[in-house]
Structure 1
Amino acid sequence: MDIPKLTKHRLICETLKSQILNGTYPPDSRIPPETELTAKFQASRMTVNRAIKELQMAGYVRRTRGSGTYVLSRQVSESQLLAIMIPCLPDAGIYHGLVRSIEETAFSMGYSIILCNADFSFDKARSYIKELVNHGISGIFFSPIFTLDDPAEKCIAENHKLARLFIENRIPFLCVDSMLENFEPQNYVVPDNEESARSLMSLAIQKGHKKCLYVHSILNSSAHLRIKGARNAMKEHGLNPAHVKLIHLKDFMSMKPMQMQKYISDGISLIYAMDDLTALQVINHLKDLGLRVPEDLSLVSHDDLDFSQDLGLTTVHQDLEKEGMEAIVAMHRLINNEITNIRQLIPSRIVVRKTLGDYCPPAEQPQN
């Protein structure tokens, strides 16, 4: 009977694990850098990185940005280990900044972090929770998962099931980025989405915009709060809240020129994208339709990702550093029973750039 050979990443992972257990790499020591491991095992950087991530997930090592990968002590593995469970880790998005802030603050307070990337899979999330329970995790930062294929109601129910698993296993959990909908008890440290959306929409109204399309790909609590904030701004200015019209991104992207022109004829002058990644797709589609931003339609968004400045995108800047720091402090207090409930909203700020222009209704436009 042939003995199956280990895959390259599994070989690297098992070799390093063995060296950690036999003391070759004692607690708090640094394992060789990825470049050295790449040469030693004749593997790609991606394969080495995957092996180290598995060791990190198993609680053997911690990774410190700009410093290296260090072996965890038994004490840390059993009592000072926290996890971050996020829906996905895309090439761009807010999670990079949020995870970095949490990890850096956690390290300064004596904690180590395991990153759990659910890949939009509730099954994978449940598997992570089982492993985390086995490792005696001290607490979990949780960003609710919403998939593009499932209805919002199903995603909400699945997130409730995950939260109940935390509670059943007596694991303190703290929602970050987005809170759970209609679930108690829960703790959270999240951006103040409702207030930032109200302020952003008020600014647009001051520039003459009275109707907008809100383009979304998911409808989680953050999206609902942004919609609520935008509609509250409408009410505050004596306008009809229903003039914030919702449209799914896939429907927007399939829109033909005549359909878009009908919206414009009906007074739509502003596109409100749920986030910067959505705004990027909106800009590209408007270009395909022969429409200019902001000359034909203005555009606003949330997140202030790195590419937003290059696009001249008017957006909401989320203070990810403060959110991460406050989340760690809150989790530390929950773990040590200093508090039993925390619901903290982190203020955001509007960054005004060129995609938000002044709107002059056609009847009011000067004639040549």
Structure 2
Amino acid sequence: MATHKYREILEKIQEDLQSGRYTPGQRLPSETELVRRYGASRMTVFRAMHELQTMGLVVRRVGSGTFVAQTSNSKSHVFGLLIPELGQTEIFEVICKGMMESQDAVRHSLLWGNSTSKENEKEKVAEQLCQHFISQKVSGVFFAPVEFSTGRFRANHRIAEALDEARIPIVLLDRCLETYPRRSRYDLVGIDNRRTAYQATEHLIAAGAKRIAFIARPNSAPTVDARIAGFREAIQALAPTPIRDSVNLGDASDQKFVKAILKKDSPDAFLCANDFTAGLLMQTLLSIGERIPEDIRIVGVDDVKYAGLLPVPLTTQRQPCRDIGRIALAVMLDRIGNPDLPARDVLLGCQMVVRQSCGAKSREQ
């Protein structure tokens, strides 16, 4: 009920601002007046006014009240962050910080939406947040499509279609809506996943690995398919002797699954889809008596904070997250200013961070 009342207040004041009922510089009703008018709690009114301030529509002056923002702020934009994993990974938090730290961000605001840790609710939460951003008439949405759920492609397309219908520009973060190597008709900013996996595989081969296996979680984002493509390309191009293609989708914490890979392919190295998978795999291998890197080398992708704190410090590829955020904001502003531009993929390179898990001499920076 509080959420319904909060949105009622927010949308009614927005309507009043757009209709001209309140003019730039005019003082708005006090929180006490709004509490009485809408029959809401003071906290609900405060939340609505705070969001209006975040959107750049009002200015709050201590001791004086809340006033309609001057028209000089009319060129500012409010963007929605539709990121189901926000708050659950290190990657997207840093990307968003990169947006806020950009020089272009001075005049603009970001709306952070709620997320959920329950896989079966991510699609529903993402679609609800999409509708909220549409109701708020945001200038654009940064969208990281849902992954892992079986209905993710349908949900992601419904979200994109709803934003298209509302004529709200989309910039995709990290991943595409379509299966690899297809691409959508939206701008995308992320890393070059194919090249990243190619370089990681090249590093393992140079370190002496002769039987490399790739491991990932099922129903992952198209970024993982691109990494698989880069892995296979490097195996074919660089392996001194033929290496059997070993791509494995499953739970890296499952001993039975990991033992089956070891029995089938006898790998002496693993390239993991990301650091989270690498951490799970490392724990599993150590628990069954495998030595890292003496018996099996491991390389991941991301360079999350705990990568260097694992039982065996992890060699990985560091994502330039802040740069992704900064460039994503520039791409969004360019899209708003030039809506007829062809869709673009802006793909950044990663930096190899060498630690103990690959058996090579550490050169962490």
Aligned residues: 313
Offset at residue 87 of structure 1 (A): 1.9
Secondary structure of 1:235's match? helix
- Taking the aligned partners of 2:346 and 2:289, their CA distance within structure 1 comes to 43
Cα distance, 1:274 vs structure 2? 1.3
Aligned pair in 2 of structure 1 residues 53, 140: CA closer, same or farther (>3 Å)? farther
Give the structure 1 partner of residue 350 of structure 2: 348
In the TM superposition, what is the alpha-carbon distance from 1:332 to its structure 2 partner? 0.5
Post-superposition offset of 1:170: 0.8
Which of the residues 100, 113, 116 maps onto 2:113? 116
CA 1:313–1:262: 2 relative to 1, 3 Å: closer
Mark the CA change 1:51 to 1:289 in structure 2 (over 3 Å): closer, same or farther: farther
Alignment-mate amino acid for residue 319 of structure 1: P
**CA deviation after TM superposition for structure 1 residue 94, in Å:** 0.7
Name structure 1 gaps, 5 residues minimum: 26-40, 42-47, 64-69, 359-368
Q: Which residue of 2 aligns with 1:102?
A: 99
User: Given that residues 98 and 324 in structure 1 are in contact (C-alpha distance below 8 angstroms), is that contact kept between their aligned partners in structure 2?
Assistant: yes
1:185 equivalent in alignment to 2:185: yes
For 1:174, which of 145, 167, 171 is the aligned residue? 171
The separation in 2 between residues aligned to 1:279 and 1:297, in whole angstroms, is 12
Shift of 1:292: 2.2
Provide the rounded CA distance (Å) in 2 between the counterparts of 1:328 and 1:256.
44
Kindly provide the amino acid, as one letter, of the partner of residue 102 in structure 1: M
Change in 2 beyond 3 A, CA 1:266/1:329: closer
Q: How does 1:33-52 map to 2 (within 5 A)?
A: none
For the Cα contact (< 8 Å) 1:61–1:71, is it kept in 2? no
> 1:99: Cα distance to partner?
1.2
Residue of structure 2 equivalent to 1:162 = 159
- Contact 2:173-2:190 at 8 Å conserved across structures: yes
Give unmatched runs, 5+ long, in structure 2.
Answer: 14-26, 33-41, 57-65, 361-365
Determine the C-alpha separation between the residues in 2 that align with 1:322 and 1:221: 21
The normalised TM-score by structure 2 is 0.74
Counterpart of 2:110 in structure 1: which amino acid? I
Q: Deviations over 1:61-109 (max 9, x none)?
A: 379xxxxxx9994866996101111122345421111111112227634
Q: Which residue does 2:29 correspond to in 1?
A: 22
- Residues 29-77 of structure 1: CA distance to partner in whole angstroms, max 9, x if unpaired? xxxxxxxxxxxx9xxxxxx9x9988776x544379xxxxxx99948669
Cα separation, 2, equivalents of 1:297 and 1:169: 52
Q: Which residue of 2 aligns with 1:243?
A: 245
Matched, 1:317 2:314: no
Q: Is the 8 A contact 1:85 1:143 kept in 2?
A: yes
Determine if contact 1:86/1:144 at 8 Å carries over to the other structure: yes
Q: Assess, with a 3 A threshold, how the Cα gap between structure 1 residues 98 and 52 changes in structure 2: closer, same or farther.
A: farther
Q: Which moved more, 1:312-321 or 1:124-133?
A: 124-133
Once the two structures are superposed, the pairs formed by residues 301-312 of structure 1 within 5 Å of their partners are 301-311=300-310, 312=313
Q: Which whole-Å deviations, capped at 9, do the CAs of 1:147-181 have from their partners, x for residues lacking one?
A: 3xx33xx3122212211112111111001111221
User: C-alpha separation between the residues in 2 aligned to 1:356 and 1:51?
Assistant: 55
Query: Which amino acid is the alignment partner of residue 96 of structure 2?
Result: V
Q: Which amino acid aligns with 2:83?
A: I
Per the TM alignment, residue 206 of structure 1 is displaced from its structure 2 partner at its CA by 1.5
- Determine whether 1:61 maps to 2:46: no
Aligned twin of 1:144? 145
Give the SS at the match of 2:357.
Answer: coil
Report what 1:219 is aligned to.
220
The residue number in structure 2 matching 1:66 is none
Given the superposition, is the C-alpha separation of residues 354 and 291 from structure 1 closer, same or farther in structure 2, using an over 3 Å criterion?
same
1:274-353 to 2 correspondences below 5 Å? 274-311=273-310, 312-337=313-338, 340-341=341-342, 342-353=344-355
- In the superposition, relative to structure 1, how do residues 168 and 262 fare at CA in structure 2: closer, same or farther (>3 Å)? closer
Matches of 1:104 and 1:114, distance apart in 2: 15
Q: Distance in 2 between matches of 1:338 and 1:51?
A: 36
**Is 180-189 or 196-205 further displaced after alignment?**
180-189
Partner SS, residue 355 of structure 1: helix
Indicate how the Cα distance of structure 1 residues 261 and 222 shifts in structure 2: closer, same or farther if over 3 A, else same.
closer
Structure 2 letter corresponding to 1:115 = W
Q: Distance in 1 between matches of 2:158 and 2:114?
A: 18
* Gap change, CA 1:130 and 1:323, over 3 Å in 2: same
Relative distance call for 1:210 and 1:166 in structure 2 (3 A) is farther
1:282 maps to a residue whose letter is: L
Q: TM-score, normalised by structure 1?
A: 0.73
